[in-house]
Amino acid sequence: MLVAQSDCLTCHKVDEKLVGPPYRDVANKYENTEANVKLLAEKIVKGGTGVWGQVAMTPHPTVTPENAEKMVKYILLLKNK
């Protein structure tokens, strides 16, 4: 799994807040649309700040856009039903 092979789990967990928001909170915040998949994938690659507080998400320039989109699609599946 791409998430497990990356350093994502250093800052994110499924249901616990660490440095960044829990994946489930991300899934509950964003609808699973192509636009949101692209937006969040870009944040994985380029990094970002301000949406979840002032702690910046570090960029991951070695993650391809295609793999970033796969990661986002997995995360968005965690939405509470």
Q: What is the CATH number of the domain that holds 35?
A: 1.10.760.10
Whether residue 59 is contained in a domain is answered as: yes
Question: Which mean pLDDT values do the consecutive 10-residue runs of the chain (81 residues) have?
Answer: 89 94 96 97 94 91 97 96 71
Whether residue 40 is contained in a domain is answered as: yes
pTM of whole model > 0.85?
yes
What is the Cα 2 distance to its own chain's centre? 12
- For the chain, how many structural domains are there in total? 1
Whether residue 26 is contained in a domain is answered as: yes
- Identify the domain containing residue 42 by its residue range: 2-76
